[in-house]
Amino acid sequence: MSPLALFNLEGRKALVTGASRGIGQAIAVALAGAGADVAITARNASSLGETSAAIEALGRQVVALAHDVRDVAGSRTVVERAAEDLGGLDIVVNNAGYEEVTPSLDIEEDVWDRVVDTNLKGAFFVAQAAARRMQADGRGGAIVNLASLTSYVGVPTAVPYGSSKAGILGMTQALATEWAGLGIRVNAVAPGYFRTAMTDVFYRNDAWQTSMLAKIPLGRFGALDDLAGAVIFLASDASAYVTGQCIPVDGGYLASI
């Protein structure tokens, strides 16, 4: 097989959660661009129109589904629906995420639950439902979880978020070792500083931008397309012998601290 063919996702069936905008949208469209048919989810299905149109423009099948990943029973239903409508399931990207910037002394239980249940509990039960389906189909697959720089470093006012993303790293490693025998690889990507709707509050502060850019060796914030290669690599045969790993996509930030 040629090196380029290793990255070809033609005939693969993917599910991307939280795909209405930002990172999730970019990943879903990138997978379609590599040849995959894609099921996409968001809490409100009407918000998936732009992503759906971009996937269809690439000539790929798209299935848009409403789902809040905190709904565990709903995760099982959505995974089954995606697999049935697409004709199987080979790739899952756990992108759905939530953050509330709150000083740790002010965090209430409901804030903790919203963040951790979305980012960690939600990702696990989507992955579990997908693995059950992949096992039943006997086709194996690739699961890619969205970790974060906060999986590795502490960020003030982001304690629930950082806790959930550190949990994603541990979950990725544990599932990779447990599911390898099923032919299911589990990896993660850890985006660095990307401006999205969820992180925009930080980028409104010019002093913060100047300070942060000074810490990134490549000297710029991430563009959404910067994530495409890492995710396609982990979803494709190019990473057939890679599991339990996390790839930081951060412009060199972690390497420099």
Distance CA 11, CA 38 (A): 11
Q: Tens digits of per-residue pLDDT, 53-102?
A: 999 999 999 999 999 999 999 999 999 999 999 999 999 999 999 999 99
Q: Tens digits of per-residue pLDDT, 214-225?
A: 999 999 999 999
Active-site residue set: 161
Distance CA 249, CA 177 (A): 23
**Could you give the 3-state DSSP secondary structure of residue 138?**
coil
pLDDT higher than 90, residue 244: yes
Instruction: Give me the sign of the Cα torsion angle 32, 38, 42, 48.
Output: positive
Q: Tens digits of per-residue pLDDT, 190-199?
A: 999 998 887 8
Is 80 within 8 Å of 126 (Cβ atoms)? no
Is 107 within 8 Å of 31 (Cβ atoms)? no
Residue ranges of domains in the chain, CATH in brackets: 4-256 (3.40.50.720)
Output the six-digit token pair for 49: 């129109």
